[in-house]
Amino acid sequence: MPKLITTSALALAMGLAACADNAEDSATTEAEAETSWPGVPEEQAAQIRELGYVIDPASFEIYAPLAEFPPYDDVTIQSDIAYGDDAAQKLDVYTFNEAADGKSRPVLVYVHGGGFTGGTKAGGGYYPQSATAWAARNGMVGVNIDYRLAPGSTYPAASADLAAAMDWVRANIAEHGGDPDHIVIWGHSAGGNIVADYISTESINGGDVSGVKGALLMSPYYTLDVGEEPHVYYGEDASLQTAAPAIERLGASSIPLMLVSAEYDPEVFRTFASTMVEAMCGDGSTMTCPTTLELADHNHLTEGASIGTVDESFSGPFSVWLAGL
């Protein structure tokens, strides 16, 4: 049996309590913080701890016995729909076969990671398809996108592709049962940066983030200082790749954020997460504090790969956050 974990405003940093504006909000937050979800099964947790603070594709093998691989019997995937002229500008739409007709459903748009240079919407087996399949099974329409990769395509290409994909969603998702006025975007790792840059940069989104009700940033990473070598995607511009200006841009956005990190994320990711929380939620901050969640016994890859499995340590709090948007 998987062990049960209890989220706590301190231990797992469901950061609603710190941001509550009144006693009623605080009481609601405390009730939510006491909710328990099945956590990482001990067999998987032991393997994750053994791998340590690394980004290792072997992590996906850890969750493979718990995951369902596509194709799915209950979810239809319409693949490789073009949202632009480039070969990389393709998306997939996931719909639940038994969804009620005539009722618009919220939309979850997923943006994969891969260090800006790799990764695909098809992943290597079951993830990230499991993210959009989970969305379809839980009352949403899932959209999973590919985008142009570095070094051939550098900033702002990937976020500009997300903007184009969002234009496609607004224009077409109603035909698939989705509500273009209720969209949540989830970006993992480099995908988290791509989502953050899209929602916080008017030159990328064109001033139009209509329909976006929230954004999940899962282990994004902006460096504290510029490295000696140009960034493969951001180049040499410190304002694009460093934490302080990125957080300032996010803080100016009105879109609700959820920030997820993993206990076994490499240090640079955990440092950025703590820097972002301190800046946005600390005393004297005028920014909107994000809902934050640190996942015990998870690493950089298993945090997302857990969705749709018996491990609900991420999907449980994520569902609560989605319901509140």
Q: Give the model's pLDDT for residue 102.
A: 85
The string of pLDDT tens digits covering residues 233-244 is 999 999 999 999
Strand extents, DSSP E, 67-159: 75-82, 90-96, 105-111, 141-145
Kindly state the DSSP code that residue 17 receives in the 8-state scheme: G
Q: What is the pTM of this model?
A: 0.91
Q: Give the model's pLDDT for residue 124.
A: 80
Q: Is the pLDDT of residue 88 over 90?
A: yes
Domains of the chain: 1-68+256-268+281-325 (no CATH), 72-251 (3.40.50.1820)
Please provide the average confidence, as pLDDT, over all residues in the chain: 91
Give percent of the chain above pLDDT 90. Answer: 87
Annotate 72-94 with DSSP letters as a single string: -SSEEEEEEEESSSSTT-EEEEE
Q: Give the model's pLDDT for residue 35.
A: 76
The string of pLDDT tens digits covering residues 181-218 is 999 999 999 999 999 999 999 999 999 999 999 999 99
SS3 260: strand
Q: Give the model's pLDDT for residue 176.
A: 97
User: What is the number of residues in the chain?
Assistant: 325
**CB of 314 within 8 A of CB of 306?**
yes
